[in-house]
Amino acid sequence: MSLAAISLAALVLTLLVSCISNLNVGFLAIVLAWLVGVYLGNMRVADVAAGFPTALFLTLAGVTLLFSQAQTNGTLDRFAQRAVRACRGNVGVMPMMFFVLTAALSSIGPGNIAATALMAPMGMAVAGRHHISPFLMAIMIANGASAGSLSPIAPTGIIVNGIMAKIGLPPVPLTIYLNNLIAHTAVAFSGYFLFGGWRLFSRPVPVSDPVAAVAGTLPDDVRSLAALPPAAGSVDDPFETRHVLTAGVIATLIVAVIVLGLDVGMGAFAGAAVLTISHAADENEAVRRMPWRVIMMVTGITVLIGILEKTGGLALFTDFLARLATPATSTAVTAFFTGLVSIYSSTTGVVLPALLPTVPGLIERMGGGDAMAIVSSMNTGGHLVDVSPLSTLGALCLAAAPPGTDNRALFNKLMAWGLSMTVVGALVCWVFFGLL
């Protein structure tokens, strides 16, 4: 068996163990990367360690620290109350609202990773407070982020449009953006309703007593005249100085990421330092609440993925692309293939830069095909799987899961969703960009 095949088998083993064992597969992945890389690939330990995703680790650690502080000092609870009120007490609208907000934020500049990093903690806090499935909230937030990722001013959109210009394809940034936006919206809302989101529309916001439930259905002025107590989810918890400062730090971070291109992880560390120095939040408690197990799970698996890239494991997939596609099936095949690789590799940093340049040659070998349809299929197929916890978006949602969440079960659900999106994405792209 070749080294590439062995490294790929190691990844498959890791994924299987994640489904049947309580072992933190991040640690297992590091061990397998060491064994395959050093003892079979004649690499140095430093070469294996070089695969550790320092940037991802800092992003996860910085953002989860800042929002752990916002959670421990009560700021997220207050925002959650106001988010509920904005939805007029309809629990079913809440995940939909976060899809729209995250898609908008992703579209206006910072991109899908930064948008998810900023919105996931708030959205998952709302999910925890109102007993919404964290899985449903995660697929809405992550898909919302991916829906806006190909905006002409977002990082991924800039990369894709640059590659298209380099390989001689016509510049159509708005078409690329809208194709991806429409496909993700259709998949996200279909999944939301299919997996029980429709039930949330008939469930009122949880309240502590029947009188408060009645009060929750009345306008504020009528409630005050009737001398009824405030309803759960209404804005009866005031913002104190520490909450205002925390909100200001988060707002500043968002603006800095959008306007100045600030690194979201480093900016989050700076914001966390401000809150600690000003005594607006308990740093020790926030550090204890950080999801270290999840952070190590994701970063450990990425070390093993680095070995796959070095040993040619990824190339085993790419070699099959031209053999599988025909002009009639090219949209489905390229979406499936791109999604399959993107589950465990960076869509923006690895997969699209590696596969988009193959489009002209692929069309030539097949004897025909629509270049824009294939490009849109690669973009959409690669991003639909990013809800997987092996991808940054899924990892951020998993890391932001509210207290009491079964992280192992959520990991497996997100993994199942990500894997299923290889097939769903292929069908969606075949219909949207092939038939239609």
Nearest CA-CA partner of 137 in 127, 147, 129: 127
The β-bridge partners of 234 are none
Tokens representing residue 180 in the block? 């991806």
Give the model's pLDDT for residue 74: 85
Residue whose structure tokens are 């394809």: 169
DSSP letter for each residue of 20-76: H--S-HHHHHHHHHHIIIIIIS---HHHHHTTS-HHHHHHHHHHHHHHHHHHHTTHH
Helix (H, G, I), strand (E, B) or coil at 204: strand
Tens place of pLDDT per residue across the chain (436 aa):
789 889 988 988 887 887 677 788 889 999 999 999 999 999 999 999 998 988 888 888 888 899 889 888 888 778 767 766 777 768 899 999 999 989 988 887 678 888 898 889 889 988 988 889 999 999 999 999 999 999 888 888 888 888 888 888 888 989 999 999 999 999 999 999 999 999 998 766 554 433 333 334 333 433 333 333 333 444 457 889 999 999 999 889 888 887 888 888 899 999 999 999 999 999 999 999 888 887 888 788 889 888 988 888 766 665 666 677 788 889 999 999 889 888 877 787 767 887 888 888 888 878 888 899 999 999 999 999 999 988 889 999 999 998 888 988 999 999 999 999 999 999 999 999 988 7
Residue 280: what pLDDT?
Answer: 94
The backbone torsions φ and ψ at residue 90, rounded to the nearest 5 degrees and listed phi first, read -90, 105
Residues whose CB is less than 8 angstroms from the CB of residue 56 and which lie 6 or more positions away in sequence, other chains included: 298, 299, 302, 392, 395
Q: Global pTM?
A: 0.72
DSSP-based helix, strand, coil % in the chain, nearest 5: 75, 0, 25
pLDDT tens profile 219-230: 343 333 333 333
Q: How far apart are CA 236 and CA 424, in angstroms?
A: 44
For 352-384, b/e burial (b = at least 16 CB within 10 A) is bebbbebbeebbeebeebbbbbbbbbbbbbbbb
Q: What b/e sequence results for 306-316 when a residue is b if at least 16 CB atoms lie within 10 Å of its CB, and e otherwise?
A: bbbbbbbbbee
pLDDT score of 236: 53
Contact residues for 146 (Cβ-Cβ < 8 A; gap 6+)? 106, 112, 180, 184, 383, 384, 386, 393
Residue type, 77: D
Query: What gap in Å lies between CA 218 and CA 215, rounded to an integer?
Result: 5
| CA atoms within 13 A of residue 131's CA, in its CB half-sphere | 8
What was the pLDDT predicted at 318? 57
Helix/strand/coil for 122: helix
Query: CA of 113: how far to CAs of 122, 283, 372, 383, in Å?
Result: 15, 25, 25, 11
What is the rounded CA–CA span in Å between residue 88 and residue 52?
Answer: 45
